[in-house]
Amino acid sequence: MESLSGRKKVLEQKPMNFWERMYLPAIFKGMGITFMHMFKKKETIHYPEQEREFSENWRGMHSLKRDEQGRERCTACGLCALSCPAEAITMISAEREKGEEHLYREEKYAATYEINMLRCIFCGLCEEACPKEAIYLDGPIVPADYLRKDFIYGKDKLVEMSITELEALKGSTV
């Protein structure tokens, strides 16, 4: 039957000649191609011993930022979650109590903040939407894991370390 596009080709299966039945020319041709690639620049690297340089606009794991006094910047406004095309962000807000001014910069903060890293497409829209400069995708690659539930990152993984935590870490490594 004539194809609608008119581009249909009927392929004839010709019987193989003597050399084709020997397979040797095809084997040598394949070995020649392999040999040629030995002198070409390698596209692969020995990861994890070697790592590629990331581009300047690289987007990695999110981090929730603190201000210069170590207080969480996020005010749980929800703009990041609204702007997320993958619906990867969920949060529960809470009112800041008296005496917690040193922990949270605004009167409202995210008591729970979760990102599902399996949903995230690292588009960076949450970062752009944030009016408080509270979220940046400036972290490393999200590491591999076995269970889906382990890809839901909470504040324990997302909030950057406080100054005291950093000092304690430095002290333990000295």
Q: Interface residues with ligand SF4 (CB under 6 A)? A: 74-80, 83-86, 88-89, 110, 115, 120-126, 129-130, 132, 134-135, 137
CB closer to ligand SF4 out of 71 and 75:
75
Give dist(CA 67, CA 132) in Å, integer. 10
Token pair, residue 4, equals: 């609608």
Give dist(CA 127, CA 60) in Å, integer. 12
The CB-of-117 to ligand SF4 minimum distance in angstroms stands at 8
- The amino acid occupying position 170 is K
CB closer to ligand SF4 out of 116 and 162:
116
Could you say which DSSP state residue 70 is in? S
CB closer to ligand SF4 out of 103 and 137:
137
CB closer to ligand SF4 out of 16 and 111:
111
The CB-of-100 to ligand SF4 minimum distance in angstroms stands at 16
The CB-of-66 to ligand SF4 minimum distance in angstroms stands at 12
Could you say which DSSP state residue 12 is in? P
- The amino acid occupying position 18 is F
Per 3-state DSSP, the chain is made up of helix, strand and coil in percentages (nearest 5) of: 30, 15, 55
Element (H, E) at 163: helix 163-173
Mapped onto helix, strand or coil, the DSSP state of residue 110 is strand
The CB-of-71 to ligand SF4 minimum distance in angstroms stands at 13
The CB-of-153 to ligand SF4 minimum distance in angstroms stands at 10
Beta carbons of 36 and 29 less than 8 angstroms apart: no
